[in-house]
């Protein structure tokens, strides 16, 4: 199946998209406040579906990538989705309950509270790198909030998109959850719909286009973007020890992870030692990447060619390039790209100016944590930041000096798996957040309510203004 054959589906025509949207809008108006028990049942359906179809999704993703580690799919896609659905079910009643707020003396008597209400019909644009998890995790949050949902999977993973459509179609009517397959033209029409909220995961470049399309309808957006997430090793942390977890974080899913370490700043003079340690660790974790089923392929020839060009540019510029042993003839897949480390690349080449999104790790030296912080701060705000230090205060001081969407100390990426932490970017790496209650709130309108008795003292301060008004004014202004 190709993206072209998928986009030919009549269901992707603009008139069809509009019809599905209108049906969902009507269904939401008919059931504006879906019962919590029904929402929990919706989440349990997804949880059970992923458990039942885990192998089918692994096979579909493997086919889309040309080779995708079944273990990585089980942990990072199926396991993550099951965990987030279960967590949301368990905490939904607390999240959805009205939140009582204090009433100032000048407004008494009265009752102030916040109603947490579903926004309505929402759109989710999912990417290709984790095509199941990054479609279903936002769906869990939207259904927990009580919304109706339309999902646009990536055209780069058409088999997974088709399976999502089939699996969710068995669980939900189309006026509740609909999956829309197709290419960029369909995505453009999708983002132009007047959703009550639009959730996008993908590149910063496309994120800007999504935000512009949503702005036409004043649709609020959550943008989960990428960027160059730095990893900084303090002088007190052994670089060979740091390499053990950095190699895992970088080469998981062949580096095709939005929060993968994009580049490393190591104490100056240790770059080569660190680079060699990373390659050694990669060889230990994924021996013989040519035929190792646990090492994932690059999703497309175009992306593979882009990575190859980046490395060649670095070589031509005089940088040292280290690669894990790789016999291309034995790979049986032209999109396998071996773990690669580039030592001291020039800052003006693409490896250092563009998000890499592949198994290539640039390593540069720093002359202290202050210089490292300055280097990070001179660039766009990253989605994630990782700092390695034996001293907790050193790590926390570095976090205080920098800005990023999320961060972790002495490990990469694991902050994503803490359900009660928000996951999102800042600046060029995105806006808004989700996971756990933060995801529920993304698709929820917090409606302020103030109730008073039939008669309220506020009538006493209406015009014509007199002594009672002056008394209230003094209370307010002190």
Residues with a known catalytic role: 224, 258
CA dist., res. 64 & res. 47, Å (int): 23
Peptide bond into 464 cis (omega under 30): yes
Among 149, 145, 245, 161, which Cα is nearest to 199's? 149
| C-alpha torsion angle, residues 155, 74, 299, 10 (rounded to 10) | -10
Structure tokens at 426: 């800042």
Q: Which has the closest alpha carbon to 33: 444, 448, 449?
A: 444
DSSP string, 191-220: HTS--SEEEEES-HHHHHHHHHHHHTTT--
CA distances from 126 to 148, 153, 191, 313 (A): 16, 5, 12, 31
Q: Which residues, 6 or more positions from 115, have their beta carbon under 8 angstroms from its beta carbon?
A: 98, 446, 447, 449
Where are the strands (E) in 338-443, listed by range? 340-343, 360-366, 384-388, 406-409, 430-431
Nearest Cα to 12, choosing from 131, 261, 190?
190
SS3 388: strand
What is the layout of strands, in order, in the sheet containing 263-267? 320-323, 340-343, 360-366, 263-267, 230-233, 384-388, 406-409
Burial label, 438 (beta-carbon count in 10 A; 0-12, 13-18, 19+): middle
* Pair 51, 77: CB distance under 8 Å: no
Question: Could you tell me where the DSSP H helices lie in 172-320?
Answer: 184-191, 204-215, 239-251, 271-285, 301-316
Contacts for 52 with CB less than 8 Å, ≥ 6 apart: none
């Amino acid at each position: 199946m190709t993206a072209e054959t998928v986009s030919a589906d009549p269901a992707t025509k603009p008139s069809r998209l509009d019809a599905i949207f209108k049906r969902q809008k009507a269904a939401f108006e008919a059931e504006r406040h879906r019962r919590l028990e029904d929402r929990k049942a919706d989440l349990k359906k997804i949880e059970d579906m992923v458990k039942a179809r885990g192998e089918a999704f692994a096979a579909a993703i493997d086919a889309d990538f040309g080779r995708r580690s079944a273990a990585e799919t089980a942990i990072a896609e199926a396991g993550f989705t099951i965990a987030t659905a279960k967590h949301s079910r368990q905490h939904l009643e607390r999240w959805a309950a009205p939140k009582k707020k204090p009433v100032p003396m000048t407004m008494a008597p009265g009752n102030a509270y916040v109603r947490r209400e579903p926004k309505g019909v929402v759109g989710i644009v999912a990417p290709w790198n984790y095509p199941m998890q990054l479609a279903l995790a936002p769906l869990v949050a939207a259904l927990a909030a009580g919304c109706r949902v339309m999902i646009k999977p990536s055209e780069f993973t058409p088999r997974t998109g088709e399976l999502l459509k089939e699996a969710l179609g068995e669980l939900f009517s189309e006026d509740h959850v609909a999956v829309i397959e197709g290419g960029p033209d369909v995505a453009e029409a999708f983002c132009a719909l007047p959703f009550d909220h639009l959730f996008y995961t993908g590149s910063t470049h496309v994120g800007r286009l999504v935000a512009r399309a949503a702005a036409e309808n004043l649709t609020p957006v959550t943008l989960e973007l990428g960027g160059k997430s730095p990893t900084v090793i303090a002088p007190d942390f052994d670089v060979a020890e740091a390499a053990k977890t950095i190699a895992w974080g970088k080469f998981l899913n062949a580096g095709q992870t939005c929060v993968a370490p994009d580049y490393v700043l190591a104490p100056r003079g240790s770059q080569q030692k660190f680079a060699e340690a990373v390659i050694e660790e990669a060889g230990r974790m994924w021996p013989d990447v040519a035929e190792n089923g646990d090492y994932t392929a690059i999703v497309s020839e175009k992306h593979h060619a882009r990575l190859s060009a980046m490395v060649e540019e670095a070589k031509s510029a005089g940088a040292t390039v280290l690669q894990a042993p790789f016999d291309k003839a034995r790979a049986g897949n032209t999109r396998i790209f071996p773990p690669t480390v580039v030592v001291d690349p020039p800052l003006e080449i693409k490896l250092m100016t563009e998000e890499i999104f592949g198994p290539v790790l640039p390593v540069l030296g720093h002359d202290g944590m202050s210089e490292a912080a300055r280097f990070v701060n001179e660039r766009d705000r990253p989605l994630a930041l990782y700092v390695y230090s034996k001293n907790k205060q050193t790590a926390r001081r570095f976090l205080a000096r920098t800005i990023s969407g999320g961060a972790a100390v002495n490990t990469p990426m694991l902050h994503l798996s803490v359900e009660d932490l928000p996951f999102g970017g800042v600046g060029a790496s995105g806006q808004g957040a989700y996971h756990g209650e933060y995801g529920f709130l993304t698709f929820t309108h917090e409606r302020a309510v103030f109730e008073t008795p039939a008669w309220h003292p506020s009538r006493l301060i209406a015009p014509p203004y007199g002594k009672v008004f002056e008394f209230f004014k003094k209370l307010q202004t002190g």
